[in-house]
Amino acid sequence: MNTKPVNLLDYDVDALVDWFAAQGEKPFRARQVMRWLHREGCTDFGAMTNVAKSLRARLSEIACVTPPTPISDKVSSDGTRKWLLDVGSGNAVETVFIPEVRRGTLCVSSQAGCALDCAFCSTGKQGFNRNLSAAEIIGQLWLANRLLGGDADGERVVSNVVMMGMGEPLANFDNVVTALRLMLDDHAYGLSRRRVTVSTSGIVPAMDRLRDECPVALAVSLHAANDALRDRLVPINTKYPLKDLLAACNRYLDRAPRDFVTFEYVMLDGVNDSERDARDLVAIAREVSCKYNLIPFNPFPGSPFRRSPAERIRRFASILAEAGIVATTRKTRGDDVDAACGQLAGKVLDKTRRTVRLVEDTR
Ligand code: SAH
Ligand code: SF4
């Protein structure tokens, strides 16, 4: 019988142990192979020298190591590097690496498109195409480590991962959690929970599941301080309104690796950037231990919104600061960790369409 090879990048360590057991192999073999796959980036079973020859031969027949294929690879002047990855059927997603002095952050996508349709988000405007597989999610980190190489000391350059690329990670829960487990596993990437962040628009039951199954650092896309406005900007709010969302944040904090939630807040001119809005955010910060990350809106064609003027963003941030609340503002250039992620959603649609067209044209 000719069965399709199994992509081993789809498995976290427990699943790989189970799969090896089904092949009659011991757990330590699975862990050995896991290290080859993720730590060495090895795709050739034949090269896994500490694995028995017969097993290597068998793996070559029934398994494979297949990360997504990059369609483009661009480095900006500030060192930010962006890859567009082909995920089949004309779909593409973007992965961004943002180097900084003491850390390197990889912004990872979880879905091709997104069903949640936030009013200011170009990914949402694309509609939902499909969930990425665990291999496609962890494959972004796998590829980045390969393509970036180590630094001068042979250290890995990706020190932090943020699930802030295309898609809503908690709407693709199982595959995202498999990928998160690999990020944390010492046999794979060995990142600490504090250095892995999931950003969600606020799917409350999935936030509880994440807390129970794989608590990593949490960012929540707040964007509005009252339900009437949030219903309009982040439509999932009609299902899980602010009161429920804030309660879920507090439940999450019981197990979170950090003692605060990061609230992302896109600054939309004349929509959510008044002094009253800032004071409402102060009130929210009295209920939930948090930091605010103010993101200047990244415009895209056809969007009805404008970015708040810099002076208004400064004023807004200072109201929060005067109340003793930590608020950072993302730079709009790609030279700080958060910038590229804030811009990502705004840039993907055009690029994706253009590239998909290119791909189709060359067929
Ligand atoms: N779906 C998840 C994560 C991906 S989006 C979420 O919504 O949290 C990462 C961040 O970029 C989110 O806070 C999102 O609201 C924000 N964002 C989306 N479109 C944007 C735009 N055009 N300008 C600035 N930030 C944007
Ligand atoms: Fe989806 Fe996040 Fe964009 Fe909302 S902001 S449409 S949840 S990717």
Q: Can you give the pLDDT at residue 336?
A: 37
Return the pLDDT at 150. Answer: 63
Q: How many residues does the chain have?
A: 363
Q: Whose CA is nearest to atom 15 of ligand 1?
A: 221
Residue 335 structure tokens: 């030279």
Q: Enumerate the domain spans of the chain.
A: 6-64, 69-337
- Residue to probe by mutation, ligand 1, list 166, 203, 266, 349, most atoms within 8 Å of CB: 266
In whole angstroms, what is the distance from residue 337 CA to residue 107 CA?
9
**210 token code pair:** 């994440």
- For residue 201 and ligand 1, the question of a CB distance below 6 A is answered with yes
Distance 222 CA to ligand 1 centre (A): 10
Q: How many CB atoms lie within 10 A of CB 272?
A: 27
State the burial class of residue 104 (Cβ atoms within 10 Å of its Cβ: 0-12, 13-18, 19+): buried
Q: What is the mean pLDDT of the chain?
A: 90
CB count, 10 Å around CB of 119?
17
Query: Which one, of 199, 202, 275, lies nearest residue 240 by Cα?
Result: 202
Cα(75)–Cα(267) distance, integer angstroms: 27
- Residues forming the active site: 94, 341
Architecture label for domain 6-64? Orthogonal Bundle (1.10)
Cβ atoms of 157 and 274 within 8 Å: the answer is no
Place of tokens 């998909």: 356
3-class SS string, 104-155? EEEECCCEEECCCCCCCCHHHHCCEEEECCHHHHHHHHHHHHHHHCCCCCCC
DSSP class of 8: G
Quote the ligand 1 centre to 27 CA distance (angstroms).
40
Q: Which atom of ligand 2 is nearest to the CA of 125?
A: 6
- pLDDT tens digits along 176-230: 999 999 999 999 999 999 999 999 999 999 999 999 999 999 999 999 999 999 9
CATH number of 69-337: 3.20.20.70
Supply the pLDDT for residue 346: 39
Measured CA to CA, the distance from residue 156 to residue 187 in angstroms comes to 14
Ligand 1 in reach of 83 Cβ (< 6 A): no
Whether the Cβ atoms of residue 48 and residue 56 lie closer than 8 Å to each other: yes
Distance from C-alpha of 53 to C-alpha of 245, rounded to nearest angstrom: 53
Buried b (16+ CB within 10 A) or exposed e, 28-38: ebbbbbbbbbb
The CA distances from residue 189 to 18, 38, 54, 128, in Å, are 20, 7, 27, 29
Per-residue pLDDT of the chain (363 residues; tens, 9 = 90+): 557 899 999 999 999 999 999 999 999 999 999 999 999 999 999 999 999 999 999 999 999 999 999 999 999 888 899 999 998 888 899 999 999 888 999 999 999 999 999 999 999 888 999 999 999 999 999 999 999 986 555 566 899 999 999 999 999 999 999 999 999 999 999 999 999 999 999 999 999 999 999 999 999 999 999 999 999 999 999 999 999 999 999 999 999 999 999 999 999 999 999 999 999 999 999 999 999 999 999 999 889 999 999 999 999 999 999 999 999 998 764 433 333 444 443 343 443 443 333 333 222
* Contacting residues for 18 by C-beta, under 8 A, at least 6 apart: none
Q: Which of 168, 223, 263, 305 to mutate to test the pocket of ligand 2 (most atoms within 8 A of CB)?
A: 168
CB 139 within 8 A of CB 68: yes
- Determine the distance separating the centroid of ligand 1 and the alpha carbon of 192, expressed in angstroms: 24
CB atoms closer than 10 angstroms to residue 347:
17
Q: Give the C-alpha distances (Å, rounded to integers) separating 135 from 5, 114, 174, 180.
A: 14, 19, 12, 11
pLDDT computed for residue 152 by the predictor: 55
Pairing assessment for the beta strands 92-99 and 81-86 based on DSSP bridges: antiparallel
**CB neighbour list of residue 237: distance below 8 Å, 6 or more residues apart:** 202, 224, 227, 230, 231, 245
| Cβ-contact 286, 315 below 8 angstroms | no
Q: Which pLDDT value is given to residue 360?
A: 30
pLDDT at 327: 97
pTM score, whole prediction: 0.92
